[in-house]
């Protein structure tokens, strides 16, 4: 829909889009595959096919480049969440939750590296970020879920007695785990939680929703 602001120095912003993209992709690859500390500006310029000098004219420091990559990932995630919220306003809580999951899977399919960086960041101590920035990322996800929960309570779909904050935290953790497992297939080996297996994916969605809806207890 609307474009993200282009990061980096003015020089970078004035570059032709193909080159911008080439550099940025290389950065995303590098950070995603090695993490912040191990990512090497040397490898990066080699991959991007530009000179060291240029890279540092585009982004003044490794940290700036990383921040740009992260901001971009966060912005894209946010946009996804917003879209889901708007497009599902009429649906029931559990339908919305299902949408959310499926939108998450789709996001990962479309931006696997961004997803990787996003997940890395969410749970990692490394990275040159104050905890504040990370906490904000979390709040973003939880806040979104809290909205869903509250409006469902208002409509009488969910029990009144629920502790909204705690519940949002737990739901968030469930969805996040699921998505993380999806993007790193190896996390759930043998569980069929990946693109190739649409049926299995359906079953995952159903199982998760069932847990959240009904709990486990025999009645």
Partner DNA sequence: AATGAATGAGTATTCATTCAT
Partner DNA sequence: GATGAATGAATACTCATTCAT
Question: Which residues of the chain form contacts with its own copies (CB under 8 A)?
Answer: 34-35, 37-38, 93-94, 120, 123-127, 131-132, 134-135, 138, 156-160, 162-163, 165-167, 169-170, 173-174, 176-178, 180-181, 184, 186-189, 191, 203-204, 207-208, 210-219
Q: Please, which residue, 60 or 82, has the CB nearer to DNA?
A: 60
Give CA–CA dist 36/38, Å, rounded. Answer: 6
Nearer to DNA, 63 or 87 (CB): 63
Q: Which of its own copies, DNA, none sits in contact with 204, Cβ below 5 to 8 A by type?
A: its own copies
**Phi, psi angle pair for 127, to nearest 5°:** 80, 150
Distance, in Å, from the CA atom of 102 to the CA atom of 108, rounded to the nearest integer, reads 10
Question: In whole angstroms, what is the distance from residue 205 CA to residue 181 CA?
Answer: 13
Please identify, using beta-carbon distances, which residue of 22 and 203 lies nearer to its own copies.
203
**Interface residue list for DNA (CB under 7 A):** 11, 14-15, 19, 38-43, 50-54, 56-58, 60-63
Separation CA 8–CA 217 (nearest Å): 53
Report the length, in residues, of the chain. Answer: 219
Distance of CA 101 to CAs 14, 95, 141, 209, 217, Å?
Answer: 37, 10, 13, 10, 24
**What is the rounded CA–CA span in Å between residue 177 and residue 163?**
21
* Residue 51 beta carbon to DNA: minimum distance, rounded to whole angstroms: 3
If the CB atoms of residues 67 and 181 are measured against its own copies, the closer one turns out to be 181
Partner from DNA, its own copies, none contacting 11, C-beta within 5 to 8 A by type: DNA
Q: Which does 54 bind (CB under 5 to 8 A by kind): DNA, its own copies, none?
A: DNA
Q: Which DSSP letter does residue 168 get? A: H
Q: How far is the CB of 59 from DNA (least distance, A)?
A: 8
């Amino acid at each position: 829909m609307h474009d993200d602001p282009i990061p980096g120095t003015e020089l970078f912003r004035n570059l032709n889009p193909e080159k911008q993209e080439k550099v940025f992709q290389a950065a995303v690859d590098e950070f995603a595959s090695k993490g912040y500390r191990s990512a090497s500006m040397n490898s990066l310029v080699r991959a991007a096919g530009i000179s060291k000098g240029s890279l540092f004219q585009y982004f003044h420091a490794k940290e700036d480049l990383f921040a740009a990559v992260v901001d971009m990932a966060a912005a894209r995630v946010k946009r996804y969440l917003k879209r889901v919220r708007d497009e599902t306003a009429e649906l029931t809580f559990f339908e919305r939750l299902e949408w959310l999951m499926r939108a998450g899977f789709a996001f990962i399919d479309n931006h696997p590296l961004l997803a990787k960086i996003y997940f890395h960041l969410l749970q990692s101590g490394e990275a040159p970020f104050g905890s504040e920035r990370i906490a904000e990322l979390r709040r973003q996800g939880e806040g979104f879920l809290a909205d869903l929960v509250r409006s469902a309570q208002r409509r009488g779909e969910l029990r009144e007695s629920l502790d909204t904050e705690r519940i949002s935290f737990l739901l968030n953790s469930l969805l996040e785990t699921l998505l993380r497992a999806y993007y790193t297939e190896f996390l759930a080996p043998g569980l069929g939680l990946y693109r190739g297996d649409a049926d299995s994916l359906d079953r995952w969605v159903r199982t998760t929703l069932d847990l959240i809806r009904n709990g486990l207890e025999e009645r």
